[in-house]
Amino acid sequence: MSTKTIEFGVCKFCGQQVTALPGYVGTQEEADLYASENCTCADGAGFRQVRKNIQLGRDQVDRLFGPAVRDYGGIPLAADQRAILKGIVDLVATGGISGATISFGDISSRIASTAKGSLRVVRTITHRDAAEV
C-alpha cells in the first residue's frame, strides 16, 4: 500500500464520496475507512457507533483490569487475559453475541450491550473467607 495525498474516500456502505481531511496523506484504504466512519448515511452512523463502542469498551477493560488497578490495591489481569476480554468487547459491539461473563480466578468480568446501544463492562472481585473448624 502506497501513501499519497488523498482528496476523497468512498463510503463502503453507500458508495458516496466523502472529502478527506485537507492535505490528508495516507492509503486509499485508510481514506475509505475514514469515509465510511464519517458518511452521513444510516449505515455509516451505525458503523461509527460500533467503532466508538469498541474503543470505549477496550479502554474500559484496560481501566478496570490493567496495571492502573494497583493504584487502589487491585490485582491486574495479565495482558493476554485482557486481550480475551477485548475480543469479547469486539464481539458484543459488532452484535456477534449479546454478552458474556468470564472469570479469571477471583476476578470476573461481565461484558454486555445495553438497551441504549452502548456497552457495559463490569469487574467483580469474589472474596471468600472460610475456615473449617
Contact positions vs Zn ion (CB under 5 A): 11, 13-14, 16, 39, 41, 44
Q: In the complex, what is the shortest distance from the CB of residue 41 to Zn ion, in angstroms, rounded to a whole number?
A: 3
What DSSP assignment string belongs to 4-19? Answer: EE--EEE-TTT--EEE
Q: Which is nearer to Zn ion, 47 or 65 (CB)?
A: 47
Neighbours of 43 (CB within 10 A): 13
Q: In the complex, what is the shortest distance from the CB of residue 16 to Zn ion, in angstroms, rounded to a whole number?
A: 5
Cβ atoms 29, 4 nearer than 8 A:
no
Q: Which is nearer to Zn ion, 8 or 13 (CB)?
A: 13
Q: Nearest-CA neighbor of 9 among 26, 28, 37, 24?
A: 28
Task: Name the 3-class secondary structure at 91.
Answer: helix
Q: In the complex, what is the shortest distance from the CB of residue 2 to Zn ion, in angstroms, rounded to a whole number?
A: 25
Q: Which is nearer to Zn ion, 14 or 54 (CB)?
A: 14
Task: Name the 3-class secondary structure at 94.
Answer: coil
- Host H or E run for residue 109: strand 107-113
